[in-house]
Amino acid sequence: MKTLFTAFAISSLVILTSAAQAATTLPAHHKDYTTSTIDGGHQCKVGISTDADGMHAKGLVYVTDGKAITWSTTLKLPEFTEQARATHCVQSGKSLYVLVQGDTNTAPSLSQTLMNVAQLDATTGKVQAMEYLDLADVKGAFSASVETDASHFRVTTPETIEVTGKYVLTDAPDASHDFTVTVKIPLAK
């Protein structure tokens, strides 16, 4: 009987420990930028995660059911960037697509803002792909941005996302230009 009780107590402890490890928390230093409603009445929240000094910003994506956090993911920095932020989130099928705006330098006067789209599994938050948002018609060095309104990052068909924003050429920073890019989804892995 004592062996059975001990085995029950150990298995209960393992179950409780597993549940505690599965509980999702957010990084200690984070800031939300926007929230989007996704399937099942859940919310996709995007923003940044930083260190205690507010440095080393990385994109943060997490999903809630309105009461508790389902999962959270801090994104890797996109190539050629020193800091980044997740600014938009949309769902298509079983994937979330997140716009990541990254800076090539932490000093704004020396930085270009480059954009990527990340694809995450909507159920687990696992990053499935990340793709550079190519402004193919722009010649020369530039910095791009997308306003926070959801209409600037939206699913237009089950196979495409439209991204609209503005860019400036680094050698003519006082003149901004509009851009529209269509991203084919799912992203190439």
Would you state the pLDDT for residue 12? Answer: 37
**Span 52-96, pLDDT tens digits:** 988 899 999 999 998 999 999 999 999 999 999 999 999 999 999
Strands 172-184 and 83-92: unpaired
C-alpha 64/C-alpha 44 separation (Å) is: 7
**Full-model pTM:** 0.86
Pairs from 175-178 (Cβ < 8 Å, separation ≥ 24): 177/138
Q: Would you list the domain boundaries of the chain? A: 27-184
Q: Around Cβ 18, how many Cβ atoms within 10 Å?
A: 9
How much of the chain exceeds pLDDT 90, in percent? 76
* Positions in the chain short of pLDDT 50: 1-23
CATH code for residues 27-184: 2.120.10.10
C-alpha 95/C-alpha 89 separation (Å) is: 10
